[in-house]
Every structure is written in structure tokens, then in C-alpha cells.
Structure 1
């Protein structure tokens, strides 16, 4: 393939946007994605509906037409797949990047299927890979999952959902509607304020009427084969019958990978990577960040709708550098 202008790590919506922009500007590039097209979206729950409307999920001003104002997961998968195939983007799927080293100003990438060299590198890997663990005894039992797909699996079962964000609340409601006996374990005092505005009243009503049991100010203490131990802010412990645990407590970026690249990350709880907000270039020259990865542990900060602009910012900066070198 020879020396590339840009190597893009991650084939989600923002990685695709970066590839589109590079292609439009005549730059050579490759997108390396460890799974299928928009792998993170593929792993979202089957019935998930986006918070954003379809036009806010568009990239490169390519229209996204959905049945409702807020599209479903499968509609998004179809939209981004058609962008990739119609534009014949140079994307390599099911190819995990294993290492990146910068030697003599050139990025040398080793993947599960080959080696690449590039003048510039963009990391657009998102944060959906690594779940925030409960770190309690029994978390490794087969009945525990940090991902949720289809509520049918839990019909007629006693299901504990840990968390108070959109993913947890969606799972609790869907499982209850399929006949599961649902218990919510919420660390705070209420259902999360960022829960979708049309969903939050629904879950509150189900809790208030007793259809779904909620334990506030509570955390999981231990998980057993057929029970679950929880504790509250007073230190009181309660054991409840349980068949399955959905620990939907959020996810985090692969900080180890970012640090391997030489990117500086703050030592506080936010774990923010260092980059120039005007160009998206990190402290490593010619290495850029794009998309939700920019927020570190603040995974609610960046979305498709407000980070799709990163593609144009990055490519414009690369072209500007090229022009200054070769006026």
C-alpha cells in the first residue's frame, strides 16, 4: 500500500467521516476497524432508539432518512453501511490494531492482518470496549453481563439491572415488558437526569406503581448463583433472589492504548487526553483524536452530532501543514 497520508484507527461514524474527508481531499488513507462497520453501534441493544434526531447523526451532509424523528439502531447501521459501500471507502474490517510506533516521523502500525506506514494517524476508537466493573465477588459468574441486547432472553426471570443511565433504564423497561421481574440498583438518589426525556417519566411511573422495584443509594456487595447482595448508604445489607445481573454501569476508553501512543492523560478522575481543540492534534505531532474518545471518562461529553466536525478540522490541519512544507 506504500506510505499513507492518514491511518485511521476505528471504523465508527467519526472514523468513517474522517475517511470520507480524506478521500474528498485526495489524501491516501486506510480505516482499520477491529469488527464490522460501526462496530460499537452494532453492539448496541437491538431495539435501541437514539436520543438524537436523524439529521444530527448525518455525516458529510449525506441525508439520513428514518421512519421516526429519532432513528433506531438498525436504521443507523444501514445508513453508515451505505455510506461506506457507496463511497467505496478504504476500510479494513475485522482487523485489530495491535501496536503503533512512531519512527523518524512515520507511524508504523501493526495489525492482526498486516503492517502499515503513515505520515499521520487518527484515533477514533470510542469508548464502548471496556465496561466499568463492579469489582465485587461473583462478577465473573455466567449470569452477569455488562452488555444488553434483547429482552426476550430474560422473560420470566428475576433480573437485576445495575445503573441509572439510558442503557440501564432501557434494559429495565424492555425486560419488564417481556415478563421479567426487574429490580433496579441505583447508586444515586434518583434515576439519571440524562435519561431520554420521553423514557424517564415511564421508568419513574413503573417504579412508583410497583411494577419495577428500585433500590436507591445502593450498590452491589456480592453476586451469588441464585441471589444478589446489595448494601445502602447506611451499610445495611439486603439479599434478593436473582437469576441474571445486567451491570450497565457504563464504559471507558482504552487508556492503555492511548498511553502506548504517547498521549498525555490527566491523572484525575476525568482522565482527559491532551489535544489541541482547534486542530484535534495531540501532544504527539501528527497524531489526532476524533469523536467520543476526546472526553476521557466524560463519556457524555462528545456524541456523533457534536464531534462529526472533527473530521474536517483534522484534514484541514493536515492539508495546511502540507502546504506550509510544500508551498
Structure 2
């Protein structure tokens, strides 16, 4: 009898954690199923611009190895016994999921079967169909800092081995984009003894400079020519900015910030780059622009005022101000929610031309609806911004014109893809529809 009691006690001790684990797993799978359905409902709005996994559901055995291997987390999940893509826009192409799959059910692809993604046709060294123009980084369809750095090194090596050199008074190469890919390319070109300049429409450091405070970035180990090895799997935004600043000071990079390249024209054996109030010539051009391109603008009077921004980095600069967010997507909603949660603004409003925010992920929708109910965000749906002034904005509503007291405007209506610039240069683009 005593032995039976002991055995039953041991079974109970072992069984309770198992029951807890199974309940937690069931909740996790249920939540994943809800998010998956929500992702599907967004349809074409959620087509990743870069490479991402595609799961063969007939081959998948639901081991979960891919989910555990993904460094980014919450991109893949198991629902209904199969791996599903939950958050395709956050995938940056580690390929760890594909390598971890025990049955080879995952492949990495661009675009989807129903909606393609345009990418430049590139040689193995990232040269486009226009000789002397290279495309690297996210614009090539590949994310991850480690990959961008390697692409920059390879492009620079090809330029060095070529006979393309700047004529008297010209540069050997201009690098457009001061993010990881552009920095790596410039460093490699300088290490090869070439005369190089970096230009960026924003500021040195690339997209990282706009990340929220303390955001962790997956980097992987990489080698920066002329600088040294970086042996870190992850780095925070602040750590990356320290790294970029140290590189700039030690290597004395020639950088022009706030320069937007609007056109690139052939000029004999060289290329002439043109932007507002600026132009220069180089034998080779390395485009490390990223996928975002220039922010899409409203095109209304007053948009040129300093009060208008196109992204939210931190809420502190908006303290004690009436802030209007313009847009109806997840980025606009996230921006409004972040400001509302910070509780620093005098007021936070969101203007969208349609009568409802119909394209939000369910979790974002729940958050913003709570803010609407609590009064921390004022919904101005079915409205359009007509003009912007120093102390107010004018909105077109169903009832007519309305003036809103306002100190700052944040426009979140997407961007103009760099593919248009590539097309005007004459670079051949190829459309990928769920293929490598």
C-alpha cells in the first residue's frame, strides 16, 4: 500500500508540470491561430519586401524546430499541427528556420504567388544591368546587417578589380545610403585606396537611428574592412550608434547628410548623380538605399513646416503638444498608441480618410480601440488634411471644413519605393512571385 501511495505521489508530481505545460502550449497555439487568421485577413498588405520563409504544409510535420530556431521570434508558430508564417514583415532572412527544418519543408522566397515583389536583376557581385551601378542591402531583397556588410565588401572588391576610375575632378565611387551596407561598402572601397563619398537623404547610421530606444537588433558577427571584427549576435540601438560613430571618427569618412538622390544619368564613362541643390560624378555608384525610399507626402500647403515629421523615434520631443497622426495603417496606429501610452502630449489625434481603420492587425486594433474608449487618442475618421499652419491644421470632414488646434503633425502614409529610381536609371527589374 505504501509503495502504491509513493508511486501515485511521484506520478502526481511529474504530472502536474506536464498538465501546466500542455495548457500553456494550448494557449500559445490558440493565440497563434488567431494571429494567423488576422494576418491572412490583411491579404496583400502583408507581402514582405525581402526574402522570407514559405512552408510546404504537405511536408511539414509540426516539429516546431523552425519556430525555436528563428532569432527574431514570433515570425513562425505552430497552428493546427503545422508551421505558419505569422509576421512576414518582420522576417529579415536569417534562414535559420530553413536550416532547422528536419524534413526540408521550408524554402526562402521573394513575394507571394498572388503578389510579386520587384527586385533589380543582379550579378553574383551585386552589379545591376547598368555597368558600374551596384545594389546592396535591403534593396537587393536581403535583410540582416551581417548580409548587408558582406554584400558591401563584395561590391567594393568588384569595383576595385574593374578598370572603372573617376576622371580628374571625379570620385571613383559614390555610395548612396549611410546604413550598414553603405558603410561597409565605403570602408572596403577606402581600404582598396579608392576615392569615395557617402550621401544619405537622412543621417549617418541608416534606419537604426530611427529605432526606439534600447531596441535589440540581430547583427551576427561580421568583419568591417579597415576597422576590425564585430563579434556580437545582437546589439542595442545605442551600441550600434556608438559603433558607427567610432567608425566615422577613426576612418574619417566623407559623408554628406540630407542629400536625396533624385536622378542618375550616364555621363560618358561615369555617372552623374543629381539631387536638390547638389550633384556629383563618379565612375561607379553603390546604391544601399533600403526598401523604404522617401516618405510619401500629403502634398498639402504647409507640409514644408518644421512641425511636420514622418516618423516617431521617441515621444519626449512631442511633450506638452497637440499632436496629429495622419494615416490608417499599423504604423500610424502604433505611433498614436506609443504617444498615448507615454502620457506626455497635451492631446493625440489620428486622422484617416476612411470611416474606419479596416486594415489593422487585431492586437493593434484592440489597443487603439482601448485608447479611443479611454479618450487618450481622438479618432478623426473620414477626414483628410487640407492644409497645415503653425498653430492649427484644417481637415475636410463630411460636414465641411474643420480647424484643429495643433502643434505637431506625424505623417505615416507609407513611402515611395526606390524601384522607381532604379527604373529611371534603366536598371532591369524582375518580379518574384513566391520564388527564390
Task: State if a TM-score over 0.5 links the two structures.
Answer: yes
Secondary structure of 1:211's aligned partner? coil
User: Is the CA contact (8 Å cut-off) linking 2:323 and 2:410 kept in structure 1?
Assistant: yes
Partners of 2:419 and 2:430 in 1: CA distance: 14
User: Is the CA contact (8 Å cut-off) linking 2:325 and 2:336 kept in structure 1?
Assistant: yes
User: Is the CA contact (8 Å cut-off) linking 1:154 and 1:178 kept in structure 2?
Assistant: no
How big is the alpha-carbon RMSD for the aligned residues of Structure 1 and Structure 2? 4.7
Partners of 2:280 and 2:303 in 1: CA distance: 36
Q: Give the equivalent residue in structure 1 for 2:411.
A: 247
Deviation at 1:200, TM superposition (A): 4.0
Deviation at 1:45, TM superposition (A): 4.9
Q: Give the equivalent residue in structure 1 for 2:421.
A: 257
Deviation at 1:263, TM superposition (A): 4.0
Residues 48 and 187 of structure 1: is their aligned pair in 2 closer, same or farther, counting only changes over 3 Å? farther
Q: Give the equivalent residue in structure 2 for 1:165.
A: 329
Deviation at 1:205, TM superposition (A): 0.8
Secondary structure of 2:331's aligned partner? helix
Residues 144 and 98 of structure 1: is their aligned pair in 2 closer, same or farther, counting only changes over 3 Å? closer
Deviation at 1:242, TM superposition (A): 1.7
User: Is the CA contact (8 Å cut-off) linking 1:220 and 1:229 kept in structure 2?
Assistant: yes
Deviation at 1:127, TM superposition (A): 4.8
User: Is the CA contact (8 Å cut-off) linking 2:309 and 2:411 kept in structure 1?
Assistant: yes
- From 167, 178, 187, the counterpart of 2:343: 178
Question: What is the TM-score when the length of structure 1 is the normalising length?
Answer: 0.56
Query: Is the aligned partner of 1:275 residue 2:435?
Result: no
Residues 201 and 59 of structure 1: is their aligned pair in 2 closer, same or farther, counting only changes over 3 Å? farther
Query: Is the aligned partner of 1:201 residue 2:366?
Result: yes
User: Is the CA contact (8 Å cut-off) linking 1:146 and 1:248 kept in structure 2?
Assistant: yes
Partners of 1:240 and 1:214 in 2: CA distance: 13
Question: What is the TM-score when the length of structure 2 is the normalising length?
Answer: 0.44
Q: Give the equivalent residue in structure 1 for 2:304.
A: 140
- Structure that is richer in helix per residue: 2
User: Is the CA contact (8 Å cut-off) linking 2:393 and 2:406 kept in structure 1?
Assistant: yes
Deviation at 1:235, TM superposition (A): 5.0
Query: Is the aligned partner of 1:229 residue 2:359?
Result: no
Partners of 1:145 and 1:8 in 2: CA distance: 31
Say which one has the larger Rg: 2
User: Is the CA contact (8 Å cut-off) linking 2:307 and 2:409 kept in structure 1?
Assistant: yes
Partners of 1:22 and 1:152 in 2: CA distance: 35
Query: Is the aligned partner of 1:40 residue 2:207?
Result: yes
Residues 63 and 166 of structure 1: is their aligned pair in 2 closer, same or farther, counting only changes over 3 Å? farther
Q: Which runs of 5+ in 2 are unaligned?
A: 1-125, 160-172, 178-198, 223-230
Partners of 2:306 and 2:407 in 1: CA distance: 10
Partners of 2:366 and 2:344 in 1: CA distance: 20
Partners of 2:417 and 2:242 in 1: CA distance: 25
Residues 167 and 124 of structure 1: is their aligned pair in 2 closer, same or farther, counting only changes over 3 Å? same
